[in-house]
């Protein structure tokens, strides 16, 4: 285990088992629909990469990067597109793939945008959901795990760009924040 981690919340095998389960549900729901899976960079990249390999039907992949104006997404709710999609979403069945939904503001913005672009359907698949912090009415359609109101890292999730490569999800030791 990494020396900065206080506690592992979800082990590598917990995550991989859940990814298989979500992949099986998505296979059933999207067979024949050629869905467009949209990865919200950077955090969702490991989940997206594992999830698409657990989906056994034709699909396409695209990537979007967003960032908040000013202090933080959670306070302003204003989101800027840093990298837009290469694919036209009009008429497509879209699955937005996220690592975590916290306040829900990033996703609310993205869902609005995709609906305005006339996607045939827009659903959300997230590995983690932190409902305690939600400021919007947003609920994921496919969710791996609910997590408590703690800052989590690993499997794509970072603190100051670190820990994204951990194969598990954990909570940092207090001294990491003060160092
Ligand atoms: O529900 P919210 O409060 O909007 O928070 C969730 C968003 O925050 C994280 O991204 P972040 O902006 O940290 O970028 P990253 O994926 O590049 O780490 C995460 O990947 C979600 O996109
Ligand atoms: O708990 C979290 N960890 C990392 N990034 C995040 N972005 C929103 N919530 C989190």
Active-site hit among 50, 99, 102, 129: 102
Nearest to 137 by CA among 105, 95, 99: 105
- Interval 41-56: pLDDT, tens: 999 999 999 999 999 9
Q: What is the CA(78)–ligand 1 centre distance, in A? A: 13
**What long-range pairs does 107-115 form, CB within 8 A, spacing at least 24?**
107/40, 107/136, 107/138, 108/77, 108/136, 108/138, 109/66, 109/77, 109/79, 110/40, 110/64, 110/66, 110/79, 111/138, 113/81, 114/38, 114/89
- Answer whether 105 contacts ligand 1 (Cβ < 6 A): yes
Q: Which residues contact 9 (CB under 8 A, 6 or more apart)?
A: 147, 152, 168, 169, 170, 171
pLDDT of residue 77: 67
Nearest CA to ligand 2 atom 5: 157
| Whole-model pTM over 0.90 | yes
Mean pLDDT of the chain: 94
**Nearest residue (CA) to ligand 2, atom 8:** 102
pLDDT of residue 136: 87
pLDDT in tens, 141-172: 999 999 999 999 999 999 999 999 999 999 99
Which domains does the chain carry? 13-148 (3.40.50.2020)
| Percent of the chain at pLDDT exceeding 70 | 95
What confidence tens digit (pLDDT) does each residue in 101-156 have?
999 999 999 999 999 999 999 999 999 999 998 988 899 999 999 999 999 999 99
Atom of ligand 1 nearest to the CA of 40: 22
Q: Assign 69 a pLDDT band (cuts: 50, 70, 90).
A: low
- HSE-up of residue 40 (Cα within 13 Å, Cβ side): 25
| Distance set, CA 147 to CA 38, 65, 151, 155 (Å) | 23, 24, 9, 14
Using alpha carbons, select from 91, 92, 90, 82 the residue that is nearest to residue 61. Answer: 92
Q: What is the ipTM of this complex?
A: 0.97
Measured CA distances, 84 to 40, 42, 64, 66, 158 (Å) = 10, 13, 5, 8, 22
- On the question of pLDDT at 57 being above 90, the answer is yes
């Amino acid at each position: 285990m990494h020396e900065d981690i206080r506690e592992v919340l979800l082990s590598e095998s917990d995550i991989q088992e859940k990814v298989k389960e979500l992949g099986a549900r998505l296979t059933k729901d999207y067979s024949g629909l050629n869905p467009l899976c949209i990865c919200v960079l950077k955090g969702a990249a490991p989940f997206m990469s594992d999830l698409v390999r657990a989906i056994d039907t034709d699909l396409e992949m695209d990537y979007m990067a967003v960032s908040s104006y000013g202090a933080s997404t959670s306070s302003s709710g204003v989101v800027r597109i840093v990298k837009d999609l290469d694919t036209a979403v009009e008429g497509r069945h879209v699955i937005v793939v996220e690592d975590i939904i916290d306040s829900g503001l990033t996703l609310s913005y993205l869902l609005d945008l995709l609906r305005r672009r006339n996607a045939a359907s827009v659903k959300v698949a997230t590995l983690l959901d932190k409902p305690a912090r939600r400021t919007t009415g947003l609920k994921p359609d496919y969710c791996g795990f609910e997590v408590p109101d703690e800052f989590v890292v690993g499997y794509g999730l970072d603190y100051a760009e670190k820990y994204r490569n951990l194969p598990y999800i954990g909570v940092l030791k207090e001294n990491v924040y003060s160092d």
